[in-house]
Chains A and B, each alone.
Chain A
Amino acid sequence: MLGIGITELTVRIVVLAKQVPDPETPPSQFKIDESTNSVIPPNGVPPVVNGFDLNAVEAALLLRDAGAEVEITVLSVGSDFVMDAMKKPLAMGADRLVLVDDSRLDNIDSAATVKVLAAAIEKDGHYDLILGGRQASDWDQAHVTLGLAEVLGLPLVSLVQKLELNGDSVSLQRVIPDGYQTITAPVPSVLTITNELGEPRYPNLRGIMQASRKKAETFSLADIGLSSDDLAPKLELKNLYIPESNKHVELIQGEDEADSGKKLALRLREEKLI
């Protein structure tokens, strides 16, 4: 069944977006509770949507800008969602926000995350493209989107920096260490989006107003047919800690900066480094 305003021609895009602690939190405020092996949320720094996931939202919006009729659904799995953060993709121009919200989904591993995402996507209905971020800045795993493609049995292209829709296929640029590949993939496919795509747009006032009127659609674990048993971890976190650094810097003091520059070179020669 198609929703209001959705036609047969509409390209339905699911963007996977995770709520993460702000990665710009100053290191001095980054703290760990060693008794629970978890990160203590920094005071006064609200969480954000993972940066690469905003690149993925931007990728979907660029398809709309290019003239395609797209419906963009943002899907997130987690708990304790902060709506100010999670509504940012809506304010940028996404159409729907779907949250699988359950306290049991706090800090689950990637195997469980993939299961929940797959179940939610199948429950939510038809899709043509699934876009994920390159990696989430909390656990830096860089594989949930790849795993999802496997579990859904869909074609996968990672590290996409440019995309174009041509009927039932997509033309892509995929970043490689020294340039990019041009790739054609069918629809539906799973793509991971990287920051080389370009900065995500800033929401404008109209977008912010529209987002504030929209309500997130929420699923519980039971709604998507899963139970706690499906969340059993494959990786058991034993220890989380902040590494100690015992480095000590030798600051070069010259009469002025030009003199310091010269002395630095001489010091490096003295150490046989250059």
Chain B
Amino acid sequence: MTSILVVAECDEQGEISQSTLQAIVAAKGLVDPVVTVVIAGEAPASASTLAVGKIVTLSSVDDADAGIYDQATAVISSLVESTSPEIVIFSKSDFGSVVGARMAFRSDSAFASDCIEISNAGDGVSVTRPVYGGSALAEFEIPTRPAIITLRAGVYEAGTETGLPLIEAFESDVNVERVVSVTGTVAEAREGVRLEDANFVVSGGRGLGGPEPFSVLADLANALGGAVGASRAACDAGWIDHSHQVGLTGKSVSPDVYIAIGISGASQHMAGCSSSRAIVAINKDGDSNIFKEARFGIVGDWEKALPSFLATVRELKA
């Protein structure tokens, strides 16, 4: 038997997130899994059909905790202490990355971030994670328990199975003194679909040469009903807001088509888009790494190739 806690997160619509559904699939792939889903806050209605045995809600974690996660760390730590799971799986999100790391170091437990595979290994657990920006993969054994893990989005496919879990509340008596406080949130305005959810992503890099070409990329994204992404180089240059960054330290996307324009395809960029169904590249350097990852490509200047591509897409979509 492998007892596993999957710490859930909800998406913008308040539903259990895709990455949590993927984590449940990863958990159920382990030997004789007993999976419990933990939800910080109230459980959404859809949780009642999750394909797991039990759901535990943590009502003592409130919205004021977002970004600081002092409360979540304390309450989930006490739940782990009282239920002694062998594995705790978080999504590699802001929440999972911070809470997972903090509770692991608080309890002197092993922590592995951004894993792409989890398996049983003897009495312990084995994980694989990309390292060196994705240039290499490292396989680790974790002999002690609990093994606390964050899972990269998009590597396991969310399941369609349903179930009838028992739902119970966990009342924690931990008292968290708030020393750090969030005084406000400034949201970047967004038009159209969310980058993470888009079926088409049109991304630009340093090869665009400046901020103006991003409006052409936006035209193409609009024509496809998609969203605009960018490489870190383009964001760091100030050509587009960082909320558009795709990659290891940006957003993870897995659209049907990912169009990379003037992007060299550094491993850290590809880490955020390599699970796309098809990658299409326009780059003037035929030797650039992006052509090792792409399914279709044009070796050439985007300024010459993009207008006719956009015009033809518009005709096809008309």
A residues with CB within 8 A of B: 21, 23, 27, 30, 32, 39, 110-111, 114, 134-135, 137-143, 146-151, 155-159, 174-186, 189, 194-196, 199, 234-243, 245, 247, 249-252, 256-262, 264-269, 271, 273-274
Q: Are B298 and A260 in contact (CB under 8 A)?
A: yes
Q: In the assembly, what is the distance between CA of A134 and CA of B113, in Å?
A: 13
Q: In the assembly, what is the distance between CA of A168 and CA of B181, in Å?
A: 14
Q: How far is the CB of B146 from chain A (nearest CB, A)?
A: 11
B49 within 8 A of A: no
Residues on B with C-beta less than 8 A from A141 are 113-114
Q: In the assembly, what is the distance between CA of A48 and CA of B216, in Å?
A: 37
B42-54 Cβ-contact flags toward A at 8 Å (1 or 0): 0000000000000
Which of A110, A148, A176, A189 sits near B111, CB closer than 8 Å?
A: A110
Q: Report the 9 A-B pairs with minimum CB-CB distance, sorted nearest first.
A: A265-B312, A261-B308, A261-B309, A257-B304, A147-B105, A143-B101, A234-B110, A150-B105, A261-B305
Q: In the assembly, what is the distance between CA of A105 and CA of B316, in Å?
A: 59
Q: In the assembly, what is the distance between CA of A265 and CA of B109, in Å?
A: 51
Given A236-B143, A274-B257, answer yes or no on A250-B97 (Cβ-Cβ < 8 Å): no
Which of B105, B108, B135, B306 sits near A242, CB closer than 8 Å?
A: B135
Q: In the assembly, what is the distance between CA of A135 and CA of B131, in Å?
A: 11
Q: In the assembly, what is the distance between CA of A230 and CA of B169, in Å?
A: 39
Q: Are A196 and B242 in contact (CB under 8 A)?
A: yes
Q: In the assembly, what is the distance between CA of A199 and CA of B279, in Å?
A: 30
Q: How far is the CB of B84 from chain A (nearest CB, A)?
A: 17
B104 nearest in chain A by CB position = A147
B171-189 contacts to A (CB < 8 Å): 179-188
B2 within 8 A of A: no
Q: Are B249 and A240 in contact (CB under 8 A)?
A: no
B226 nearest in chain A by CB position = A274
Q: How far is the CB of B79 from chain A (nearest CB, A)?
A: 17
Interface 9-residue window, one of B16-24, B32-40, B204-212, B288-296: B288-296
Residues on A with C-beta less than 8 A from B137 are 240-243
Q: Are B304 and A256 in contact (CB under 8 A)?
A: yes
B residues with CB within 8 A of A: 66-68, 94, 97-98, 100-102, 104-106, 108-114, 126, 129-133, 135-144, 179-188, 190, 200, 224, 232, 236, 242-243, 248-249, 251, 256-257, 267-268, 277-278, 280-281, 286, 289, 291-301, 304-313, 316-317
| 23 sampled A-B residue pairs with Cβ under 8 A | A27-B135, A140-B132, A143-B111, A148-B105, A150-B101, A176-B185, A181-B66, A186-B180, A189-B180, A195-B249, A234-B110, A236-B142, A238-B139, A238-B140, A245-B292, A257-B304, A260-B298, A261-B298, A261-B304, A261-B305, A266-B312, A273-B278, A274-B257
Q: In the assembly, what is the distance between CA of A23 and CA of B136, in Å?
A: 12
Q: In the assembly, what is the distance between CA of A194 and CA of B248, in Å?
A: 13
Residues on A with C-beta less than 8 A from B313 are 265, 274
Q: Are B296 and A181 in contact (CB under 8 A)?
A: no
Q: Are B280 and A264 in contact (CB under 8 A)?
A: yes
Q: Are A250 and B296 in contact (CB under 8 A)?
A: yes
Residues on A with C-beta less than 8 A from B180 are 155-157, 183-186, 189
Given A140-B131, A181-B185, A239-B139, answer yes or no on A260-B300 (Cβ-Cβ < 8 Å): yes
Q: In the assembly, what is the distance between CA of A264 and CA of B305, in Å?
A: 9
Residues on B with C-beta less than 8 A from A256 are 304
Given A155-B180, A178-B187, answer yes or no on A252-B142 (Cβ-Cβ < 8 Å): no
Q: In the assembly, what is the distance between CA of A182 and CA of B129, in Å?
A: 32
Which of B94, B133, B278 sits near A23, CB closer than 8 Å?
A: B133
Q: Are A146 and B102 in contact (CB under 8 A)?
A: yes
Q: Are B280 and A268 in contact (CB under 8 A)?
A: yes
Q: Are A142 and B138 in contact (CB under 8 A)?
A: no
Q: Are B309 and A264 in contact (CB under 8 A)?
A: yes
Residues on B with C-beta less than 8 A from A267 are 296
